Structure 1
Amino acid sequence: MFGSDRLLDVAIMMIERTHRVENLETSELAAMLAGPEPPLLFDIRTAGEYEKSHIETAIRIEPDIGQDDFETLYAALMAGRDIVLYCSVGQRSSELLERVESARGKTGAKSCRNLRGGIFRWYNEGRPVVDASGTTDDIHGYDPVWAVMVERRR
């Protein structure tokens, strides 16, 4: 039987075969967030998913935002910064990264990467997530099929 980590690994492998974007490991993101120049972090999930929990400092973006709207809303924030996008496992954030990839050059962002394994990998590794009240041990599973990739905290 497959455990949640193994299922997540399979999902990541399939996403990476379909979407050729640059990925960032969760350990790299953790180090960047703790460093002197943290990246600009975008959460590419629904409002309900984000409200349940997200990585601290993340800005939520609608998964279907177009390149023009993305540039208009966020270009000034992106200048000179590393950009990291994430969703549950990496599918929606990879799709968005492909759509807005040319924005990097227009905005002067240093890098634009996808968080490999998304918030599910981040959460499964015991890294912190927050809601409106602060740190939480809860996470939105997206749907019953994808939720099996989440290791519930006790």
Structure 2
Amino acid sequence: MHALVILALFNSLFFGLFGVNWEDIDSRITEEFPQVELLSTDSLLNQMQERLSPMLIDVREIEEYKISHLQTAVNVKTAEEIAQLITDKSTPIVVYCSVGYRSAGVAAGLQGMGYENVLSLQHSIFEWANKNYPMIDDQGDTDKVHPFNRAWGALVASRFHQYP
């Protein structure tokens, strides 16, 4: 599991240095985490509106989470921490991050631990923000999102950028 976290951190640095687009992100996720199923932002919004929302896990750093997150999301960064929080391995879980790369790694880790109903939110909170879907911070509604780094930040409209 630690190898997955190290790999995700390395690739975050790599992507941050060389720039990305959605096709690059999607290809990388498909190559590295082929077993992980993706959920579209539209599908998750529909589930939330119908009150069928799964357990939402935000795996970003706390600084990112504090700027904005999805309503009801819990900030937990690793599969091991999630396993301590959610012991029923049949619980529907959706994991998200900035673009879907870190969350795919955590979803793969959960699947490796026997979790049966884990999805990664495709394009994660950046696409969610770009579509003006609802996000919150500790003060209430917000439209801001932490852009993670310069390269990944190009994938979310600059009007939504906010740093701590």
TM-score interval for Structure 1 and Structure 2 normalised by the shorter chain? 0.7 to 0.9
**Is the 2:54–2:92 contact (alpha carbons within 8 Å) kept by the matching residues of 1?**
yes
Q: TM-score w.r.t. structure 1 length? A: 0.81
Question: In structure 1, the residue corresponding to 2:45 is in which secondary structure?
Answer: helix
Q: Does 1:124 align with 2:108?
A: no
Query: What CA distance in whole angstroms lies between the structure 1 residues aligned with 2:30 and 2:158?
Result: 25
* Count of residue pairs the alignment pairs up: 139
C-alpha offsets along residues 32-84 of structure 1, whole Å, 9 cap, x if unaligned? 1112332110001000000010111100012xx253x4322222xx5654210
Look up the equivalent residue of 2:101 and give its one-letter code.
Q
Query: What CA distance in whole angstroms lies between the structure 1 residues aligned with 2:133 and 2:24?
Result: 21
Shift, 1:127, TM fit? 0.9
Q: Does 1:23 align with 2:38?
A: yes
Q: Report the equivalent of 2:98.
A: 88
Gaps of 5+ in 1: 1-5, 106-110
Query: What CA distance in whole angstroms lies between the structure 1 residues aligned with 2:24 and 2:79?
Result: 28
Q: Report the equivalent of 1:142.
A: 148
Q: Report the equivalent of 2:8.
A: none
Query: What CA distance in whole angstroms lies between the structure 2 residues aligned with 1:72 and 1:57?
Result: 18
Q: CA RMSD in A?
A: 2.0
Q: Report the equivalent of 2:51.
A: 36
Larger mean CA deviation between 49-58 and 16-25 belongs to 16-25
Gaps of 5+ in 2: 1-19
Query: What CA distance in whole angstroms lies between the structure 2 residues aligned with 1:29 and 1:60?
Result: 18
Q: TM-score w.r.t. structure 2 length? A: 0.76
